[in-house]
Amino acid sequence: MEEQLEGPTQEEVDSLVWWHPFTFPNGVKARGLKGGTSSEYSEECVRVEAEAAFRHPVRGKTVLDVGAWNGYFSVEAMRRGAKRVVALDKPAWEDPYFQGFKGFDLARRYLAPEVEAVVCDLMDLRHNPVGNFDLVLFLGVLYHLKHPLYVLETLFDLTVEHLVIETQLDLTDCDRPAMVFLSRRRNGWRRFQLVGAECPMCDGHAGGSRLFAGRIYSPSDF
Ligand SMILES: C[S@@+](CC[C@H](N)C(=O)[O-])C[C@H]1O[C@@H](n2cnc3c(N)ncnc32)[C@H](O)[C@@H]1O
Counting the structural domains of the chain, the total is 1
What pLDDT sits at residue 193?
A: 45
Residue 96 lies inside a defined structural domain of this protein: yes
- Cβ pair 161, 135 in contact under 8 A: yes
- C-alpha to C-alpha distances, 220 to 78, 150, 152, 153, nearest whole angstrom: 32, 12, 12, 10
Taking only the tens place, the pLDDT of each residue in 82-119 is 999 999 999 999 999 999 999 999 999 999 999 999 99
Residue 5 lies inside a defined structural domain of this protein: no
Q: DSSP letters of the chain?
A: -PPPPP---HHHHHTS-BSS-EE-TTS-EEPBSTT-SSSS-THHHHHHHHHHHTSS--TT-EEEEET-TT-HHHHHHHHTT-SEEEEEESHHHH-TTT-HHHHHHHHHHHH-TT-EEEE--GGGGGGS----EEEEEEES-GGG-SSHHHHHHHHHHHEEEEEEEEEEB--TT-SS--EEEE---STTT--EEEE-TT-TT--S-EETTEEEEEEPPPGGG-
Q: What spacing in Å lies between the alpha carbon of 207 and ligand 1's midpoint?
A: 21
The CATH number given to whatever domain includes residue 116 is 3.40.50.150
How far is Cα 33 from Cα 197, in angstroms, rounded to an integer?
26
> Pick from 189, 185, 205: which is nearest to 197 by CA?
205
Residue 65 has pLDDT above 50, yes or no: yes
- Higher local confidence (pLDDT), 205 or 19: 19
Residue 135 lies inside a defined structural domain of this protein: yes
Confidence of residue 192 (pLDDT cuts 50, 70, 90): very low
Q: What spacing in Å lies between the alpha carbon of 218 and ligand 1's midpoint?
A: 23
Residue 36 lies inside a defined structural domain of this protein: no
Residue 11 lies inside a defined structural domain of this protein: no
What pLDDT sits at residue 144?
A: 83
Q: What spacing in Å lies between the alpha carbon of 191 and ligand 1's midpoint?
A: 11
What pLDDT sits at residue 195?
A: 47
- Does any ligand 1 atom lie closer than 6 A to the CB of residue 139? yes
Q: What spacing in Å lies between the alpha carbon of 68 and ligand 1's midpoint?
A: 6
Atom of ligand 1 nearest to the CA of 46: 9
Q: What spacing in Å lies between the alpha carbon of 3 and ligand 1's midpoint?
A: 37
Cβ count within 10 A of residue 90? 18
Taking only the tens place, the pLDDT of each residue in 156-181 is 999 999 999 888 776 667 777 667 66
Listed range (31-45, 119-133, 150-164) with the worst mean pLDDT: 31-45
- Does any ligand 1 atom lie closer than 6 A to the CB of residue 91? yes
- Does any ligand 1 atom lie closer than 6 A to the CB of residue 121? yes
Residue 220 has pLDDT above 70, yes or no: no
Residue 207 lies inside a defined structural domain of this protein: yes
Q: What spacing in Å lies between the alpha carbon of 110 and ligand 1's midpoint?
A: 22
Atom of ligand 1 nearest to the CA of 125: 20
- Cβ pair 156, 217 in contact under 8 A: yes
What pLDDT sits at residue 215?
A: 37
**75-84 average pLDDT score:** 98
Please measure the distance between the N-terminal and C-terminal CA atoms of the chain and give it in whole angstroms: 61
Residue 167 lies inside a defined structural domain of this protein: yes
How far is Cα 43 from Cα 55, in angstroms, rounded to an integer?
18
Q: Which domain holds residue 122?
A: 59-221
Residue 72 lies inside a defined structural domain of this protein: yes
Taking only the tens place, the pLDDT of each residue in 5-25 is 799 999 999 999 999 999 999
Most confident segment among 17-21, 191-195, 205-209? 17-21
* Prediction pTM value: 0.86
Pocket test for ligand 1, best of 144, 151, 209 (most atoms within 8 A of CB): 144
- Does any ligand 1 atom lie closer than 6 A to the CB of residue 151? no
